[in-house]
């Protein structure tokens, strides 16, 4: 099984600033994803992080707001840009391993003031 770590685990940010969240997987994975979980709600897929190319975004999410990088097979970053209080949420990284089992990171709890 894959173990996923995220940094930071939580942050409090000012409106208008940006935060980059890092996701590291300890083993080889195929797909990597970023999800958002707003307070008291389910998970919503933001995008699929593609290695060496632009991420694939879901409806309602755009690259300018949520730029994503995946420079290699086991690492990805998500940036939340020009933040507003509505971006306060938990952001989760996930990955599928070679047998397509999906694992989740512990999440990054973001509060925007």
Partner 1 sequence: AQSVTQLDSHVSVSEGTPVLLRCNYSSSYSPSLFWYVQHPNKGLQLLLKYTSAATLVKGINGFEAEFKKSETSFHLTKPSAHMSDAAEYFCVVTGGNDMRFGAGTRLTVKP
Interface residues with partner 1 (CB under 8 A) are 31, 33, 35, 41-45, 48, 92, 94, 96, 100-107
Nearer to partner 1, 41 or 84 (CB): 41
Contacts of residue 39, defined as CB under 8 A and 6 or more positions apart, other chains included, come to 88, 89
Nearer to partner 1, 80 or 92 (CB): 92
Tell the burial category of 98 from Cβ atoms under 10 Å away from its Cβ (0-12, 13-18, 19+).
exposed
Instruction: For the CB of residue 106, give the shortest distance to partner 1 in the complex, in Å.
Output: 4
Instruction: For the CB of residue 71, give the shortest distance to partner 1 in the complex, in Å.
Output: 20
Instruction: For the CB of residue 15, give the shortest distance to partner 1 in the complex, in Å.
Output: 25
Q: Which residues share a beta bridge with 8?
A: none
How many Cβ atoms from other residues are within 10 Å of residue 88's Cβ? 17
8 A C-beta contact, residue 111 and residue 84? no
Nearer to partner 1, 42 or 72 (CB): 42
* Beta strand extents in 62-101 (DSSP E only): 68-72, 75-80, 89-96
Nearer to partner 1, 75 or 104 (CB): 104
């Amino acid at each position: 099984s894959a173990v996923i770590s995220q940094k930071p685990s939580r942050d409090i940010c000012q409106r208008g600033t940006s935060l980059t969240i890092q996701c590291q997987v300890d083993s080889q994975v195929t797909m990597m994803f970023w999800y958002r979980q707003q307070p008291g709600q389910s998970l919503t897929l933001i995008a699929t992080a593609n290695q060496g190319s632009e991420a694939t975004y879901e409806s309602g999410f755009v690259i300018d707001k949520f730029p994503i990088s995946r420079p290699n097979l086991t690492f990805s970053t998500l940036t939340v840009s020009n933040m507003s209080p509505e971006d306060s949420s938990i952001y989760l990284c996930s990955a599928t391993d070679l047998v397509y089992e999906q694992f989740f990171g512990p999440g990054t709890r973001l509060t925007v003031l």
